[in-house]
Chain A
């Protein structure tokens, strides 16, 4: 059981910044995220794109913003449960919460802050009739264990980095790899595109473009797919069909936690502290809604800051506290580090 003061669900910019604000109050944080790396959309969707409306940053790449946040919060030693989705929440008699992930990891905290953005990232599934019945029976949207494909026939669909990278990787493992994409051009790193070209020339990857997988067949398990290329329908024998069309955020299990939901977002009290209808559970950043809500990183930072002050009061109801400026009080990390403004020089002039 992982225990912490504030359990943050979602490791995007808002969740990461909450670690800093909590740290100033000597509260420890642990973050859960369905993605394998921190940063949320900034890392997953647009790491190389600039953001222009972070105060005092005329321009910052989304990936750099995340790197900077990770540096800023490092002294507060946040814990991470990555690649796991927060699945269930339970409130104990003593007011603490237990959040369990889809992999069974349990976390306990007196305060839960949901900073889940638009939700957890789930694979986009192509609308092929009957495909759901083959999930994990030859149809996989995420490659968990490449060894599964050893000496198997594999068909991959998609035109981005993950389709290219996995085609390259599996070319050495699988008996055959066929990559199907709706057009001849691929959107991916240049060296990946060139590598696929090379493997195609060597006969290690079969490329079918412009084409689309339109059917999946088998008895209980995938044995073949139908590929439509122009007017032609190609029947291909295969053991696996791996559609890699990127990820899309879905609110997911959080929607069933008894929280008040409006417009696909969690309603919070914005006049006070961004708490939800369940005391002790807060929602900050893009995942919340209130009158006048704007889904901006800078608004998430503000919400995270106010949430932490309220969380402190909740955890220590009898303690008096006033907010301190970092320039005055410095930043004392849990790792023993201390940052402080230099003292003024006082020296007599003889």
Chain B
């Protein structure tokens, strides 16, 4: 299993290229937290159950991501600042095909 490089643009607009492991069953929200790219308590509030939208991000690269589950779709339908490329970071599982992924964190709400 290879680590992958992904680019995360934080809520202040600062771009961070980070290395994410593909062998630890991590999701994108957890990667953001592990690098402390958003203050604790403002991201991953529900722990990663697609129930709070605090990890909403905009996917800026054209990676093929898995389809949204009903839970994710329903949560985004109640979230704020939602765009066509919005996803919940906690629902994006880190794996090798996501090498080069680029996302921007949505504003805190």
Q: What residues of chain A have their CB less than 8 Å away from a CB belonging to chain B?
A: 41, 45-46, 49, 118-119, 124, 126-127, 158-160, 181-183, 185, 187, 245-246, 248-249, 251, 263-265, 289
- Of the stretches B2-10, B13-21, B72-80, B96-104, the one at the interface is B72-80
Is B77 in contact with A183, judged by CB distance below 8 angstroms?
A: yes
Is A264 in contact with B40, judged by CB distance below 8 angstroms?
A: yes
- Assuming A45-B46, A45-B51, A248-B54, is B80 touching A126 (CB within 8 A)? yes
24 contacts between A and B (CB under 8 A): A45-B46, A46-B49, A49-B49, A118-B45, A127-B80, A158-B78, A159-B74, A159-B78, A160-B78, A182-B78, A182-B82, A185-B73, A187-B70, A187-B77, A187-B78, A245-B78, A248-B45, A249-B45, A263-B41, A264-B39, A264-B40, A264-B41, A264-B42, A289-B40
**B39 touches which one: A49, A127, A263 (CB < 8 A)?**
A263
Determine whether B109 belongs to the interface, using a CB cutoff of 8 Å to chain A: yes
Chain B 33-51 against A: per-residue CB contact (8 Å), 1 yes, 0 no?
0000001111001100101
Q: How far is the CB of A323 from chain B (nearest CB, A)?
A: 32
A160 to B52, CA, bound (A): 12
A263 cross-chain contacts in B, Cβ below 8 A = 39-41
Known: A159-B77, A182-B82. 4 other contacts (CB 8 A): A127-B80, A159-B78, A264-B39, A264-B42
A246 cross-chain contacts in B, Cβ below 8 A = 52, 78
A248 cross-chain contacts in B, Cβ below 8 A = 45, 52, 54
Determine whether B81 belongs to the interface, using a CB cutoff of 8 Å to chain A: yes
A265 to B42, CA, bound (A): 11
**A187 touches which one: B41, B49, B54, B74 (CB < 8 A)?**
B74
Q: How far is the CB of A171 from chain B (nearest CB, A)?
A: 21
Instruction: Tell me the residues in window 12-34 of chain B with beta carbons closer than 8 Å to chain A beta carbons.
Output: none
A183 to B75, CA, bound (A): 11
A289 to B40, CA, bound (A): 11
A132 to B71, CA, bound (A): 30
Chain B 58-101 against A: per-residue CB contact (8 Å), 1 yes, 0 no?
00000000000011011101101110000000000000000000
